[in-house]
């Protein structure tokens, strides 16, 4: 699907804008020499590795041209004030400020191989399974993507009766009463989860973990191998399980951060959580959806997603031929923010016309076409464009 290598076109159309003020107040950047201006932004969408790319243009897009400086682009994703979403919606290329993300695990800290996908105006229907869970966005000015966690359960892989709730006062008598459910912010700012102090202490005692900051993010380390998973239960019952290889990696590092007793920092369901979850945001109706992610899917199924609608996952055939035989061709990913955590994401701009009738017809045609493709391994003809040059400077993601 769309690998979206965001990169900038040649500067022939560029015109400087001396009065422009960025919305990003204090980015982690020191740009000694930069200026703003307008240029054409090209979004490239790859469906299959060997195919050419679809191109989506955003004219008169404001860019910051940096001649000297440094930055730590550790954030992935689009917020409600994203100028890319604004521009795509304003030019009717998507039907509203809708954005979906699977962050994947194809970056150093996660140590995995699977790349994520990034969809504007839609979602990747093959990247999650039903049911989807709906949440209201929090007020502007805070992290809009917050959920309430009511339980966290640790299970050992080879012992069915080993489930222990980190909220349980019987298992952890140091707690005088069961901790309250807590609000946690979904973020891509950091990899490890940040949980309340008591819960973190219970995790440390149950897994025999210790503080360790070898990797600079205060992730805890276990002293002995622990083969088990951790299940986060949200208030509405949605359960997200961090699998054994993520809970304790081969160097015994966990994705749980240590926490000071008096820390007032927010609790975070961070990138670790998003490696297991597909996120779909409807910034128009101020709601978002979470569903269990399908980690590896060679097939990309961009589906338009319009304000107020509820995403539904692609229904897999029970024994589709393609499951048995595997798919020919992999998906190409563009590397975004490669200097920082090096997350590779695929992006897709799902086009969605304003008129409902048109949309329905289109959607049916789209579904039919996808089904045929699934069944027959047909790769559709696409217009050929030159792929983005390998040396192209990646366009850094903006926090909002
Ligand atoms: C800059 O990075 C530091 C360390 O990663 C982080 O604590 C801080 O919040 C970041 N500042 C902004 C504005 O993103
Ligand atoms: C391009 O965008 C700038 C800043 O948003 C605006 O001032 C200008 O009028 C736009 N030009 C065109 C041709 O739309
Ligand atoms: C475990 O995670 C740490 C922190 O990201 C990483 O540096 C280390 O290489 C990982 N170990 C393995 C064996 O993947
Ligand atoms: C243990 O927890 C896991 C994850 O929540 C669950 O799938 C499993 O059924 C539980 N086992 C028992 C015996 O309760
Ligand atoms: C954990 O247990 C499972 C099931 O026995 C096994 O397949 C897996 O290799 C184990 N993982 C580790 C890290 O020992
Ligand atoms: C992930 O993306 C990178 C960069 O495009 C690519 O080299 C790599 O093969 C991809 N990995 C998978 C498993 O598709």
What are the tens digits of pLDDT across the range 271-315? 999 999 999 999 999 999 999 999 887 667 778 889 999 999 988
pLDDT tens string 38-95: 888 888 766 654 556 778 888 888 888 888 877 766 668 888 888 889 889 998 888 8
Atom of ligand 5 nearest to the CA of 245: 13
More confident residue, 326 or 320: 320
Atom of ligand 2 nearest to the CA of 60: 1
CA distance 43 to 91: 14
19 pLDDT tier (thresholds 50, 70, 90): confident
Q: Is residue 284 a part of any domain in this protein?
A: yes
| 17-21, 117-121, 190-194, range with greatest mean pLDDT | 190-194
Q: Residue 344: CB within 6 Å of ligand 6?
A: yes
Q: Is residue 1 a part of any domain in this protein?
A: no
Centre of ligand 4 from the C-alpha of residue 256, in Å:
21
Weakest-pLDDT range from 102-116, 128-142, 163-177, 342-356: 342-356
* Tokens linked to 12: 């022939």
Q: Is residue 296 a part of any domain in this protein?
A: yes
CA distance 231 to 241: 4
Dump the DSSP string for 42-83: EEEE-SSTTS--EEEEEEEEEEEEEEEEEE-----S--TT-H
13 pLDDT tier (thresholds 50, 70, 90): low
CA 124 to centroid of chain Cα atoms: 12
Q: Residue 297: CB within 6 Å of ligand 6?
A: no
Q: How many domains does the chain have?
A: 1
Task: Compute the radius of gyration of the chain from its Cα atoms.
Answer: 22
Q: Residue 5: CB within 6 Å of ligand 6?
A: no
Q: Is residue 392 a part of any domain in this protein?
A: no
Nearest ligand to the C-alpha atom of residue 254: 3
Please give the residue range of the domain that contains residue 207: 124-317
CA distance 364 to 374: 15
CA distance 400 to 398: 5
Q: Is residue 76 a part of any domain in this protein?
A: no
Which phi-psi region, left, alpha or beta, contains residue 152 (left: φ > 0; alpha: ψ -120 to 50)? beta
Q: Is residue 89 a part of any domain in this protein?
A: no
pLDDT for 160 equals 85
pLDDT for 252 equals 94
383 pLDDT tier (thresholds 50, 70, 90): very low
Atom of ligand 6 nearest to the CA of 330: 14
Q: Residue 164: CB within 6 Å of ligand 4?
A: no
Choose which residue among 108, 216, 248, 251 to substitute to test ligand 3 binding: the one with the highest number of ligand atoms within 8 A of its C-beta: 251
More confident residue, 78 or 257: 257
Phi (first) and psi of residue 386, to 5 degrees: -65, 135
CA distance 272 to 57: 33
258 pLDDT tier (thresholds 50, 70, 90): very high
Centre of ligand 2 from the C-alpha of residue 80, in Å:
21
Residues 6+ apart with CB under 8 A from 123: 100, 278, 280, 302, 303, 305, 311, 350
Atom of ligand 3 nearest to the CA of 252: 1
Q: How many CA atoms lie within 13 A of 121 on its CB side?
A: 24
Q: What is the CATH number of the domain that holds 199?
A: 2.40.70.10
Q: Is residue 103 a part of any domain in this protein?
A: no
Q: Residue 160: CB within 6 Å of ligand 4?
A: yes
Q: What is the mean pLDDT of residues 223-232?
A: 96
CA distance 326 to 26: 46
Atom of ligand 2 nearest to the CA of 20: 4
Centre of ligand 4 from the C-alpha of residue 155, in Å:
7
16 pLDDT tier (thresholds 50, 70, 90): confident
- Residues across the chain: 400
pLDDT for 208 equals 95
Q: Is residue 78 a part of any domain in this protein?
A: no
Which residue stretches of the chain are H helix? 83-90, 197-207, 244-247, 271-274, 321-325, 356-376
Q: Is-above-0.75 flag for pTM?
A: yes
Task: Name the average pLDDT for the chain.
Answer: 76
Reference 150, options 240, 232, 261; nearest CA is 232
CA distance 259 to 124: 35
Q: Residue 232: CB within 6 Å of ligand 3?
A: no
Percent helix / strand / coil, the chain, rounded to 5: 15, 35, 50
């Amino acid at each position: 699907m769309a690998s979206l290598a965001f990169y900038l076109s040649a500067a022939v159309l560029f015109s400087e804008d001396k009065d422009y003020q960025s919305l990003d107040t204090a980015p982690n950047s020191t740009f000694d020499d930069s200026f703003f201006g307008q240029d054409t932004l090209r979004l490239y969408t790859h469906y299959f590795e060997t195919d050419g790319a679809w191109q989506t243009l955003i004219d008169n897009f404001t860019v910051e041209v940096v001649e000297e400086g440094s930055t730590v682009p550790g954030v992935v994703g689009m917020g409600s004030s994203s100028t890319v979403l604004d521009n795509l919606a304003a030019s009717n290329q998507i039907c509203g400020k809708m954005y979906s993300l699977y962050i994947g695990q194809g970056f150093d800290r996660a140590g995995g191989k699977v790349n994520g996908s990034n969809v504007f105006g839609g979602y990747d229907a093959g990247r999650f399974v039903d049911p989807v869970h709906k949440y209201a966005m929090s007020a502007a000015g805070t992290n809009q993507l917050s959920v309430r966690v009511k339980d966290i359960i640790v299970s050992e892989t080879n012992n069915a009766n080993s489930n222990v709730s980190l909220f349980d006062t019987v298992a952890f008598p140091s707690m005088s009463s069961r901790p309250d459910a807590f609000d946690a912010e979904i973020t891509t700012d950091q990899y490890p989860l940040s949980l309340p102090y008591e819960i973190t202490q219970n995790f440390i005692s149950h897994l025999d973990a210790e503080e360790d900051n070898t990797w600079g993010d205060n992730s805890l380390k276990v002293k002995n191998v622990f083969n088990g998973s951790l299940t986060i239960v949200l208030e509405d019952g949605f359960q997200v399980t961090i699998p054994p290889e993520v809970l304790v990696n081969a160097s015994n590092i966990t994705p749980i951060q240590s926490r000071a007793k008096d820390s007032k920092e927010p609790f975070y369901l961070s990138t670790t959580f998003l490696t297991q979850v597909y996120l779909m945001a409807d910034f128009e109706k101020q709601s978002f959806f979470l569903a269990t992610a399908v980690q590896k899917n060679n097939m990309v199924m961009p589906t338009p997603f319009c304000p107020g609608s509820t995403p539904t996952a692609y229904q897999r055939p029970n024994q589709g031929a393609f499951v048995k035989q595997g798919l020919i061709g992999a998906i190409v990913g563009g590397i975004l923010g490669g200097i920082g955590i090096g997350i590779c994401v695929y992006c897709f701009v799902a086009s969605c016309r304003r008129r409902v009738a048109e949309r329905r017809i289109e959607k049916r045609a789209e579904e039919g076409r996808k089904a045929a493709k699934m069944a027959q391994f047909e790769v559709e003809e696409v217009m050929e464009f030159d792929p983005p040059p390998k040396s192209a400077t990646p366009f850094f993601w903006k926090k909002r």
